[in-house]
Amino acid sequence: MRLRSLLFCIALFCSTINIQAQKNELGKVTIAELEEKIHPVDSSAPAAILFKKGKTVFSYNEKVGFSAVHTYEFKIKIYKKEGLKWADQKVHYYVGYQNLKEDMLEFSNAVTYNLENGKVQKTKLESQGLFKKKINEYWSEKTITLPNVKVGSIIEYKYVLKSENIGEFPDFAFQFDIPVDYFEYKTEFPEFYIYKTILTGKNKIESDAKLGSGTQSFDNEYGQTRKLSYKQINAFYSGKNIPALREEPYVDNLENYRGVIKHELERIRMPEQPVKDFTITWEGVATTIFKDENFGKELSKRDFLLEDVKKLLGNVESLEERTNIIFKFVQNKMNWNEINSCFAKKGVEKAYKEQTGNVAEINFILLNMLKLAGVDANPVLVSTIENGIPVYPTRTGFNYLIASAEINGKQILLDASKKYTSPNILPLNVLNWKGRLIKSDGSSKEIDLVPTKASKEISNIVAIINANRKIDGKIRIQRTDYDAYRFRVQNAAKNQENYIEKLEQQLGFKNFGLFNK
């Protein structure tokens, strides 16, 4: 009797596992799932990710060596009209490598499921629902629009991203603005590459890592099949019932709280080769970055700027005045190409000649001119608000670069890539808690980016009530620091007459004078 009960329990357990496995596979959609009207945990959710699965493995060929293959699968339920936007999916991929082939991205298994007359109706994505466009010289984008999506639908899709870039992986996000019922992420890393795992967010997840074996079959230059065997680290991460991440009062950057798994290359230890360390300490980060030819080398190219610096400064002795003159010159001369980066892509000389460059190139030019002027200037690595915060030593956690000038013990932060910034007034998306000032000797220090001085908007009204019981008068609005910067950005395309006319309409006034600084 006990044996029969035990066998029943084992059968029930196996059945439960099988049901769970089926539920988290593409193509397994039930009538019950399609009939579900609201999310069982979050009734306000317009949609929910029923599962997201990811896997990162390595492939090998003799010419290139190891490449990374990232596979992602999604199953999403639409509950409300506001959730229909999830029918459009966009994925960016990098095409701007100098020494590597561009990333390859392919969508598949894109299907919409609906309940029609009590039966599951399946609509596959056709080729006309797939779009590709080039964003700029470094990034491209593929978009899919799932067909026949309506309230109650379930959509599924899969994509594979193949990249020769094994030093920087896409982040695996598992928290969105809709709830996630279940996620899992598997990685298989060859023993030659040691990665640091960084988890952001406050969600409880399960993880496990084991040492296993890996093999790669490849053809050599003579067409013979060879096999490469090695040890590998197999890791598994999973979680369930991840709540939606929504805007809250007094939260300055929501991205800093999103649940994300990140991997960064920390060490390479190939057989019979010296070990290469990248990011164990902040000093290692600084040293590694300065060794990059698109960073340290570009910060040493100054000769072509010397004549312009001499013309600009003349007999100016004050270091602070020199800094202001050079900053304004670079800001006016250079034009940002809307690409954020910590590294030069086309080089500072070419950027200077063309008067166009990315954030790093423009601020490298600023740094080089400041150094020629005798100013103690150094680069500061920044992660913008949308990029999150690098908590641990990292090379790839930063995506932006500004300049720091130290004069008489006072630090001045500068960004010449934007037209309306000024010394110590940075773009708003750069104010992401902390930056990392690095020097060529490998030293570094943390820099506060958030301003300590409050910006002000001061309004002054002088008015009289005339004999006709109408109010005549003047309004003076004075803005300082970041309030002034925000105003300049928002009204850059307007002239004073149009601005005053619009303000009069908003206030209901017709006769007043306005002075704005």
Question: What's the pLDDT tens digit per position in 132-184?
Answer: 988 877 789 999 999 999 999 999 999 999 999 998 899 999 999 999 999 99
Domain boundaries, the chain: 21-275, 282-448, 457-516
Mean pLDDT of 69-74: 98
DSSP per position, 190-244 = ETTEEEEEEEESS---EEEEEEEEEEEEEE-TTS-EEEEEEEEEEEEEEEEEEPP
pTM of the model: 0.70
Handedness of CA 348, 353, 357, 363 (dihedral sign): positive
Helix axes 306-313, 319-333, angle to 10 degrees: 120
Question: Cβ atoms within 10 A of the Cβ of 250, count?
Answer: 4
Instruction: State the chain's maximal CA–CA distance in angstroms.
Output: 104
Range in 38-47, 494-503, 507-516 the model is least confident about? 507-516
Question: What's the pLDDT tens digit per position in 267-313?
Answer: 999 888 898 877 667 777 777 888 888 999 999 999 999 999 999 99
Mean pLDDT of 72-97: 95
CATH of 21-275, one of 2.40.30.170, 2.60.40.3140, 2.40.10.170, 2.60.40.10: 2.60.40.3140
Any residues with CB less than 8 A from the CB of 492 and at least 6 apart, and which? 419, 420
Q: Tell me: domain 282-448, CATH 3.40.50.2000, correct? A: no
Question: What's the pLDDT tens digit per position in 417-435?
Answer: 999 999 999 999 999 888 9
Question: What's the pLDDT tens digit per position in 92-137?
Answer: 998 888 788 999 999 999 999 999 999 999 999 988 778 998 887 7
> Which tokens sit at 91?
């994925």
- Summary mean pLDDT of the chain: 87
What CA–CA distance (Å, rounded) separates 423 from 146? 48
DSSP letter assigned to residue 35: H
